[in-house]
Structure 1
Amino acid sequence: MKRLSALLLCGLMLLAGCSSSPAPTANPETKMTPGTYSSVGTGFKGDIKLDVTVTEDAITEIKVVDHKETKGIGSEAVTILADKMVEYQTTGVDLVAGATVTSAGFRTAVNEALAQAGADMDKFGAAPEKAELKEETLDTDVVVVGGGSSGMMAAQYLAKDGYKVILLEKTPMVGGASAMAGGTLSATNSTWQKEAGYEDSPEALKERLLAIGHNKNHLPTLELFTRIIGPNFDWIVDENGGNMPYKHEGSGASYSFEGSGSGAMLKLKEIMLDAGAELLLNTQATELIVNEGSVVGVKATGEEANYTINAKAVILATGGYGHNQDIVPEEYFAFRYSGHSGHDGDALEMIKAVDGATRNLTWLNKQPNTMILPSGAPQYTNMGVGKAYNMSGILINEKGERFACENGDTWELMLAMEKNERQYLLMDQENYDAFNAAMASIYSAEDAAKWTADDYTGQPFYKGADTLEELAEKLDVPAEALKATVAKYNEAVTAGAEDEFGRQLTTTIAEEGRYYALEMSIRYSTSLGGICINDSMQVLNTSEEAVPGLYAAGEVVGGVQGDLYLPSSTFTWAMTSGVEAGRVVSAALAE
Structure 2
Amino acid sequence: MRRRNFSASLTLFAILPSSVFAETGDETKFDLIIIGIGAAGLSTAVSAAQNGVKNILLIDKAAFVGGHSALSGGSVNAVVPELQMKQGIKDSPEFWQRQIMETGEFQSDPVLVNTLVNNAQSTLHWLREIGIPFDDQVFEAWGGKFQRAHSAGQKRSGMTYVRIMNHKARSLSVKVRLRTEAVNLLEKDGQVMGVRVKDRNGKLTDLEAKDVVIATGGFTANVAMRLKYDSRLDASLFTTANQTGRGFDGSTGDGILMAEKLGAQTVDMDAIQLIPLRGGRLLNYVGGDIYVDSEGKRFIDESKGVKAIAEGYLNLPDRVFWVITDSQSQKSLDLDAKLLAGSVHIADSVSEMAKKMHVSAKVLQETLDRYNRFVEQGEDKDFGKKIFTQKIEKPPFYFGREQFDIHYSCGGLKINKTCQVIGKADKPIPNLYAVGEVTGGIHGRDRLGGDSLISCFVFGKIAGEEIAKKQKSCQ
TM-score interval (norm. to shorter): 0.7 to 0.9
Rg (Cα) greater in structure:
1
Structure 2 counterpart of 1:309, one-letter code: L
Alignment match, 1:395 = 292
Cα shift at 1:433: 3.8
Structure-1 separation of matches of 2:160 and 2:215: 20
Cα shift at 1:312: 1.1
Cα shift at 1:234: 3.8
Structure 1 residues 494, 176: CA separation in 2 closer, same or farther (over 3 Å shift)?
A: closer
Cα shift at 1:396: 1.3
2:420 paired with 1:538: yes
Structure-2 separation of matches of 1:218 and 1:295: 25
Alignment match, 1:438 = 330
Alignment match, 1:338 = 240
Alignment match, 2:342 = 459
Gaps of 5+ in 2: 139-146, 243-248
Structure 1 residues 141, 523: CA separation in 2 closer, same or farther (over 3 Å shift)?
A: same
TM-score w.r.t. length of structure 1: 0.64
Structure-2 separation of matches of 1:148 and 1:469: 42
2:40 paired with 1:150: yes
Cα shift at 1:543: 2.2
Cα shift at 1:151: 1.0
Count of aligned positions: 438
Q: How does 1:490-529 map to 2 (within 5 A)?
A: 499-503=381-385, 518-529=400-411
2:265 paired with 1:363: no
Alignment match, 1:261 = 158
Per the alignment, in what secondary structure is the counterpart of residue 274 of structure 2? strand
- Asked if structure 2 preserves the Cα contact closer than 8 Å seen for 1:465 and 1:516, the reply is no
Q: How does 1:143-542 map to 2 (within 5 A)?
A: 143-160=33-50, 161-188=52-79, 200-238=91-129, 243-251=130-138, 254-257=149-152, 259-303=156-200, 305-328=203-226, 329-333=230-234, 335-339=237-241, 341-368=249-276, 370-372=277-279, 380-382=281-283, 386-389=287-290, 394-397=291-294, 402-420=298-316, 421-425=318-322, 432-434=326-328, 438-439=330-331, 441-443=333-335, 459-460=342-343, 462=345, 471=354, 475=357, 499-503=381-385, 518-542=400-424
- Asked if structure 2 preserves the Cα contact closer than 8 Å seen for 1:384 and 1:439, the reply is no
Structure 1 residues 577, 499: CA separation in 2 closer, same or farther (over 3 Å shift)?
A: same
Structure 2 counterpart of 1:279, one-letter code: V
Q: Deviations over 1:167-192 (max 9, x none)?
A: 11111111111112233433437999
Cα shift at 1:285: 0.8
Cα shift at 1:349: 0.9
Structure-2 separation of matches of 1:488 and 1:158: 53
Per the alignment, in what secondary structure is the counterpart of residue 342 of structure 2? coil
Structure 1 residues 270, 493: CA separation in 2 closer, same or farther (over 3 Å shift)?
A: closer
- Asked if structure 2 preserves the Cα contact closer than 8 Å seen for 1:364 and 1:528, the reply is yes
Higher relative contact order (CA 8 A, sep 6+): 2
Deviates more, 1:197-206 or 1:209-218: 197-206
Cα shift at 1:236: 3.4
When the two chains are superposed, the root-mean-square deviation of aligned CA atoms in Å is: 4.2
Cα shift at 1:254: 4.5
Cα shift at 1:207: 1.2
Alignment match, 1:25 = none
Alignment match, 2:15 = 75
Gaps of 5+ in 1: 1-14, 16-42, 49-68, 84-135, 373-378, 452-457
Structure-2 separation of matches of 1:488 and 1:196: 29
Structure 1 residues 195, 308: CA separation in 2 closer, same or farther (over 3 Å shift)?
A: farther
Per the alignment, in what secondary structure is the counterpart of residue 289 of structure 2? helix
Structure 1 residues 492, 588: CA separation in 2 closer, same or farther (over 3 Å shift)?
A: closer
Equivalent of residue 444 in structure 2, options 559, 562, 565: 562
